[in-house]
Amino acid sequence: MFKIVKKERLNPTVTKMVIEAPFVAKKAEPGQFIIFRTHEDSERIPLTIADYDREAGTVTIIYQIVGGSTMELDTMEEGQYIQDFVGPLGVATHTDGLKKVCVVGGGVGCAIAYPVTKKLHELGCEVHAVVGFRNKDLVILEEEFKAASDKLVMMTDDGSHGEKGLVTAALEKLINEGNEYDEVIAIGPLVMMKFVCGVTKKYNVKTVVSMNPIMIDGTGMCGGCRLTVGGETKFACVDGPDFDGHLVDFDEAMKRSTMYRDFEQHAREASCNLLAKEVK
């Protein structure tokens, strides 16, 4: 059992939890993930590690309330315990030797982009961060990105906060201003990462993307998280989640991501009905 030591609402649909998990915290690195179950009969869900504190023995997760399992997790409060919290899993993001990097985050993907930004900053790398949201009400971790970045560009689709426009436009502007990046690291919705890679390919800038497909066991056995990368089948849970973005078949990944949309909707509706009964 793993104790919830802090719970914080970041925006109407995104929550941050700090979990007491000393053995996970001891080994965790940016880019890795955990698999949790809220209760013994709950679904197994992967979440990328958003932060960790080795001394305190805690791991931070940030999740968006989108389906039945995240709705169930969100009913838990500080002081309560979740059933399982397994990790760290996956391959950590490569950070050694990088001198100048642009980290591009989109939406709740910024929760994954932040620990990478923080680690690069701690290693002395010059870090430019471009983060985008639909509007100002959905912005998360702005102060954290400011503290960990040499340059921060905030973007919103409607211009309600920061600059108006897409992260791809901001990234291309930075490249055209003469910034020569060792790497661009993009983390966010599949379509965002696809178009970021379209920009960087024009300028021959190495680009790493974090892929988070459907995942079940987290050990490479089920094959649910398979991707096509450079014409070869890869598994996000053991080969990733980071991959060369210029080699990822994004169209296939986007098609696979919609396979269980109806099932997820039914699970969400069932959870809503269950929670409504409990409130009564």
Q: How confident is the model at residue 237 (pLDDT cuts 50, 70, 90)?
A: confident
Task: Report whether pLDDT(208) > 90.
Answer: yes
Q: How far is the C-alpha of 163 from the C-alpha of 92, rounded, in Å?
A: 31
Q: How far is the C-alpha of 31 from the C-alpha of 120, rounded, in Å?
A: 12
pLDDT in tens, 8-32: 999 988 999 999 999 999 999 999 9
Q: How confident is the model at residue 261 (pLDDT cuts 50, 70, 90)?
A: low
Neighbours of 255 (CB within 10 A): 11
pLDDT in tens, 176-203: 999 999 999 999 999 999 999 999 999 9
Residue 276: the pLDDT is 53
Residue 213: the pLDDT is 76
Residue 249: the pLDDT is 94
Q: How confident is the model at residue 219 (pLDDT cuts 50, 70, 90)?
A: confident
Is the pLDDT higher at 157 or at 263?
157
Amino acid at 204: N
3-class DSSP state of 83: coil
Closest CA to 58 of 94, 102, 22: 22
Instruction: Please say whether the beta carbons of 132 and 164 come within 8 A.
Output: no
Q: How far is the C-alpha of 235 from the C-alpha of 223, rounded, in Å?
A: 7
Q: How far is the C-alpha of 158 from the C-alpha of 17, rounded, in Å?
A: 29
Q: What is the mean pLDDT of residues 161-173?
A: 95
Q: How far is the C-alpha of 262 from the C-alpha of 64, rounded, in Å?
A: 18
Q: What is the mean pLDDT of residues 71-86?
A: 93
- What is the residue whose two structure tokens read 């709950």? 42
Q: What is the mean pLDDT of residues 245-272?
A: 73
Q: In degrees, to the nearest 5, what angle opens at C-alpha 99 toward C-alphas 188 and 238?
A: 45
- Averaged pLDDT score across all residues of the chain: 90
Q: How confident is the model at residue 225 (pLDDT cuts 50, 70, 90)?
A: confident
Q: What is the mean pLDDT of residues 225-250?
A: 92
In sequence order, which residues have a C-beta less than 8 Å from that of residue 118 and are 6 or more positions away?
Answer: 30, 51, 144, 148
**Which pair of tokens denotes residue 242?**
């980071």
Going along the chain from its start, the domains and CATH numbers come out as: 2-89 (2.40.30.10), 93-210 (3.40.50.80)
